[in-house]
Amino acid sequence: MEFSLGYTLWLREMKRFFRLKSRFIGTLGMPLFFLIFLGMAPINLPGSSEGGYISFLAPGIIGMILLFASMGAGMNLLWDKEFGFLKEIMVAPVKRSTIVLGKTAGGVTTALIQGLVILVLALPFGLKLTGIYPQFTILGFFLGFLASIGFMILIGFTFVGLGVSFASRMKDFHGFQLIWNFILFPIFLLSGALFPLDVFPGWLQYVAYINPLTYGVDGLRGSLVGVSEMPLLVDFAALVISSAIMISIGAYLFSGAEVD
């Protein structure tokens, strides 16, 4: 029963995602803007020797769309509250954690799809994929691609959990949009997505290092272009911890949520 409900919620999120093509296309607008207008800039940064600034920027833009798409799961939860769907499934004889996992799985899957789309779209703009081991072309590319998918999934779990946490305690879209604007852009800008962390003031670097997206972007950059500021294992461990914490908080807050 619980697995069936979780699967149904995941499938519902997937159908909603593919049917609302305008929302999907709109989500790609800002990332494409960054790729087109910033990716061509003649900036020399670590990780850009093979493909220019675009090779440094593209992993950050992938992290950006994963962040926005994952937090969008919180918006979907509010929609379900508003139109009574959530109330109907919460009376089912299953644990609320099953509902959270089903919604989370759907949000992570849709975020992963959008991240892969941006990865493909960045290739014509000059992104050079070298993978983890640039000296071993095929092996490095294959391992790097698999590692990048792992990082995308962990980023998705982290910020879907964050979105569910906020949505569980909120009842209107306006409040969620305020949180969206107040939280998302600082997270993105302080992740090293656009510039290396060492260009920030010292105190701001400490803030960046408690940002989960920092490790996600760094992990994606190391996986895709072979350059990262921290070891990939550190990035991976930080994201595993942050995703576990966020999903746990989201499940806990949702378990006490009330639906009118």
* pLDDT one-digit tens code per residue, 40-67: 666 665 444 455 678 888 899 999 999 9
Tens digit of each residue's pLDDT (9 = 90 or more) over 110-144: 889 989 988 888 888 778 787 776 555 677 678 88
Query: Is 203 part of any domain?
Result: yes
Tell me the whole-structure pTM to 2 decimals: 0.88
Burial class (CB in 10 A: 0-12, 13-18, 19+), 120: exposed
Question: How far apart, in whole angstroms, are the C-alpha atoms of residue 129 and residue 108?
Answer: 24
Domain count, the chain: 1
Q: What angle do CA 249, 207, 196 make, to 5 degrees?
A: 120
Q: 215 and 239 in contact (C-beta within 8 Å)?
A: yes
The confidence score (pLDDT) of residue 156 equals 93
How much is the average pLDDT of 176-194?
84
Q: Find the domain containing 18 and state its range.
A: 2-255
Task: Confirm whether 240 is domain-assigned.
Answer: yes
Q: Is residue 260 part of a domain?
A: no
Annotate 145-154 with b (16+ C-beta within 10 A) or e (fewer): bebbbbbbbb
Distance spanning both ends of the chain, measured CA to CA: 25
